[in-house]
């Protein structure tokens, strides 16, 4: 059985330009051929405020160990950035998704994030003065592109990930990755 180690960290959020603190919930999703044998596929970072470079550092560690019996359904990381305001309210300010690299070694990934946009003036005013944002009812839309064309979104920032990939036994099953 082939094995995949994902070791790294959710480094930071860049250019979100949010006045409130930001934190990120993440979930690593994979196909039915994949089994997580150690590590946590879901988690949440600490919340932090942007610095003068519009960057929030999280440095949240990731350490996952998967075994697989087929390469279909390669793992993806789904990210959801939320903000936390001064009175304890939180709402989503960004969704993002990317496939975990399939080549072994060190990777720096920038995951572009977006959020459903306020389409009317009243919504925009409400969001500006009161806060809050639209959220996706079906989070499958983040990683599946098929129905996403219905969305009108606002581009937000990027999330930077540093990931080391270690592959084991894939060659023995005729898998070429480099």
Partner 1 sequence: MQQLKKNNKTVGIYWLKESLENVTIVVKVKSKEEIMTLPKFDEYKDRSYEENIHVLNKTKINEYKFKWQEKMFSTHEFQKYSDTYNCSTETELKYHDMIKDPEMKPQKVFTYVNEDYHLPLPVVENKNKPASVPKLNTCFEKLNINSIGSFKNDSTSVGYLFKSQENISDHEQWVTMHVVLDNSEYNEESQILFKQEYNLVSLYHNITQNYLMVVPDVNNLHFNPYNVEDGDNILGYEYGVDIDFGKEEKGEDMEHLLNNLLKKWEKKKKQLLNFEMPPLGMKKTFITFEIVSAFGFEMDNMYIEFQIKIPDDITVNGDRKGRTHVSKSSRSEDDEVWRFGHVLELELEYATGIELSRLKVVLEAISVDWWGRHRTEGYSCLTLTLEPGEYKQILSCSRPEELDVVEAESRRFFVGGCHLIKDLDVLINPQMHEANFRYVSSGKISVLWRTLSQTQSSVSHTYLPDTSTDLLKGAEAVLKQYKKAKATLAAATKSFTKPEEQ
- Using CB under 8 A as the criterion, which residues of the chain lie in contact with partner 1 when the complex forms? 1-2, 15, 17, 33, 69-72, 74, 76, 96-99, 101-103, 107, 110-114, 117, 143, 145-146, 148-158, 169, 171-178
- Between the CA of residue 28 and those of 11, 15, 59, 73, 98, what are the distances in Å? 16, 23, 17, 11, 10
Which of 121, 116, 112 is CA-nearest to residue 92? Answer: 116
Measured from the Cβ of residue 171, the count of other Cβ atoms closer than 10 Å reads 11
The count of residues in the chain is: 178
Query: CA dihedral in degrees (115, 57, 4, 79; nearest 10)?
Result: -10
Nearer to partner 1, 7 or 117 (CB): 117
What's the closest the beta carbon of residue 174 comes to partner 1, in angstroms? Answer: 3
What's the closest the beta carbon of residue 83 comes to partner 1, in angstroms? Answer: 15
Nearer to partner 1, 46 or 108 (CB): 108
Nearer to partner 1, 129 or 178 (CB): 178
What's the closest the beta carbon of residue 32 comes to partner 1, in angstroms? Answer: 10
The tokens describing 92, both together, are 């989503």
Identify whether the C-beta of residue 133 lies closer than 8 Å to the C-beta of residue 87: no
What's the closest the beta carbon of residue 5 comes to partner 1, in angstroms? Answer: 15
The CA distance from 137 to 152, in Å, is: 14
Nearer to partner 1, 135 or 177 (CB): 177
What's the closest the beta carbon of residue 177 comes to partner 1, in angstroms? Answer: 5
The CA distance from 106 to 114, in Å, is: 26
Nearer to partner 1, 158 or 160 (CB): 158
What's the closest the beta carbon of residue 122 comes to partner 1, in angstroms? Answer: 16
End-to-end CA distance of the chain: 19
Nearer to partner 1, 1 or 46 (CB): 1
């Amino acid at each position: 059985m082939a094995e995949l180690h994902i070791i790294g960290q959710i480094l930071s959020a860049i250019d979100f330009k949010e006045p409130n603190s930001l934190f990120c919930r993440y979930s690593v999703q994979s196909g039915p051929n994949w089994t997580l044998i150690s590590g946590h596929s879901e988690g949440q970072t600490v919340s932090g405020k942007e610095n003068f470079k519009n960057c929030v550092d999280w440095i949240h560690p990731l350490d996952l160990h998967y075994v697989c019996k087929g390469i279909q359904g390669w793992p993806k990381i789904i990210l959801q950035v939320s903000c936390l305001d001064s009175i304890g309210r939180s709402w989503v300010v960004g969704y993002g998704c990317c496939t975990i690299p399939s080549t072994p070694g060190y990777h720096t990934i920038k995951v572009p994030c977006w959020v459903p946009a306020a389409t009317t003036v009243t919504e925009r005013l409400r969001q500006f003065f009161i806060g809050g944002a639209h959220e996706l009812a079906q989070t499958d839309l983040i990683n599946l592109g098929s129905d996403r064309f219905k969305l009108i979104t606002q581009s937000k920032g990027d999330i930077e990930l540093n990931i080391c990939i270690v592959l084991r036994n894939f060659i023995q099953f005729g898998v070429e990755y480099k």
